[in-house]
Amino acid sequence: METHVYCASEFYRMSRPMVSLQQLTKVFGNQVAVDQLTFDVPGGEILGFLGPNGAGKTTTLRMLTGMTQPSSGTATICGFDLLKEPLEVKRHIGFVPDSGAVFESLTGLEHLEMVAALYGIPEKVARPRIEQFISFFDLSMDTLSSKMLGAYSKGMRRKVVITAALLHNPPVVFFDEPLEGLDANASVGFKALIQSLAREGKAIVYSSHILDVVERVCDRVIIIDKGRALLDGRPDDLVAQHGSGTLEKLFTSVTGGQELEQRAETFAKTFLP
């Protein structure tokens, strides 16, 4: 059995983009969900991938993780072509999907050991890694080994999903709304974790609606709407360029959300339960 250990810093030192999208497009029927998206993510960078609901963020992440077939265009992960070498791509990525799906009838430990085995990590190596994450996330080994995942709280389940994405030490990690369900302490810990992962040279794509977190954590943001990239740059630079003060204001101004405050006020006045 071949085992895989990745040294993300090698890719970083080579300063080649670890994630590279070329004209990536997805069409559902006659609806264009992602429209010729092109960008690169070098190692060591945390990219905030933002957009309103239905903008195409999740579809893009699903294409990059091999869960959905692109309609046209392609992408490379650590130099591996998404369409030609899908298995190599999958070996080099970790993904935390927004659904947070797990096998509910497995215990947390069974789920993590199963994921480790899929990446060729022997149980003897997987167990100490799992224990590291358990202590980092303040989980109890007793709960993890005796309770089925179906009985976990949303936050505990999310911690298991994050652990499952990082267990094989991938050089590229995609996060889709990773903070959902995490309490304040776990969120603070998680933010510190992804920053330390980036310092190790991993490329991180972080999709979220919590814009103040994105502003603090991400080195760069891309805002997309209707499948197209609208803005791409460092958060501070973009905010300064547009004179919007905060990333949140910039986001609402470019995605047509300015009138929402006015609409909310009108709604509150006219809503009769």
Partner 1 sequence: MSAAPPVRPEMKAPSPEKTLRRLFLTVFVRGQSARGITKQTVAKSFTQKMGMMFLIYGLFGLSSLALIRQSVLLISVSLHSLTFLALGMFISASAGEALFNKEESEILMHRPVTSQMLLRAKSAVLLQIGFSVALALNAIGFFVGMTANDGGILFPLVHLVSTAEEALFSIGAVVLMYQLCLKWLGRERLEGIMTTMQVLLIISITMGSQILPRAIGHGNLGKVSLDAWWFKVLPPAWFASLDDAVAGSHSQSSWMLAGVGVLVTGVILWLGFTKLAAVYEAGMQTLNEAAKPSANQTRRYRTLKVLSESAPLSWFLRTPVSKAGFQLVSAYMFRDRDTKLRLYPGVAPMMIMPIMLLIGNQGISKGPMDSTVSDSLGGFFSAMSATYVCLVPLSALNLLKFSQQYRASDVFIAAPLPGPAPLMQGARVAVVFFLTLPMMVALSIFFVATRGISSLGMVLSGLFALPIYAMIPGAFENAAPLSNPIEEAKSLNNMPVMMLSIFGSIGVAGGATLFASLGLLPVFWVIEAIVSAIACVLMHRLTLKRGWRTYD
Could you list the residues that contact partner 1 (CB under 8 A)?
Answer: 1, 3-5, 28-29, 31, 62, 65-69, 87, 90-91, 93, 95, 97, 99, 101-107, 110, 114-125, 128-129, 132, 136, 145-151, 169, 193, 196
- Give min distance, CB of 47 to partner 1, in A: 18
Nearer to partner 1, 107 or 252 (CB): 107
Run of H or E including 240: helix 235-242
- Choice between 172 and 213, CB closer to partner 1: 172
| Residue number, 31 or 253, with CB nearest to partner 1 | 31
Asked whether 178 and 32 are in contact (CB, 8 A), the reply is no
27 forms bridges with which residues in the sheet?
A: 32
Token pair of 216, please?
A: 């603090």
> How far apart are CB 177 and partner 1 at their closest, in Å?
14
In the numeric block, the tokens 């590279």 are attached to 20
Nearest distance, CB of residue 84 and partner 1, angstroms: 14
Nearer to partner 1 by Cβ, of 39 and 152: the residue is 152
C-alpha distance from residue 230 to each of 59, 72, 225, 250 (Å): 17, 20, 7, 11
| Bridge pairing between strands 80-81 and 72-77 | antiparallel
CB of 266 to partner 1, least distance (A): 28
CB of 4 to partner 1, least distance (A): 8
Please tell me the distance from the alpha carbon of residue 259 to that of residue 242, in angstroms, as a whole number: 18
C-alpha torsion angle, residues 118, 91, 8, 183 (rounded to 10):
-60
Q: Structure tokens of 195?
A: 């920053």
Token representation of residue 110: 């069974």
When the beta carbons of 24 and 221 are compared against partner 1, the nearer one is 24
269: left (phi over 0), alpha (psi -120 to 50) or beta: alpha
Query: Minimum distance from CB of 148 to partner 1 (Å)?
Result: 4
Q: What are phi and psi of 210, to 5 degrees?
A: -85, 95
Residue closer to partner 1, measured from CB, 111 or 220: 111
CB of 82 vs partner 1, minimal distance in Å: 12
Nearer to partner 1, 128 or 243 (CB): 128
The Cβ of residue 17 has, within 10 Å, a number of other Cβ atoms equal to 18
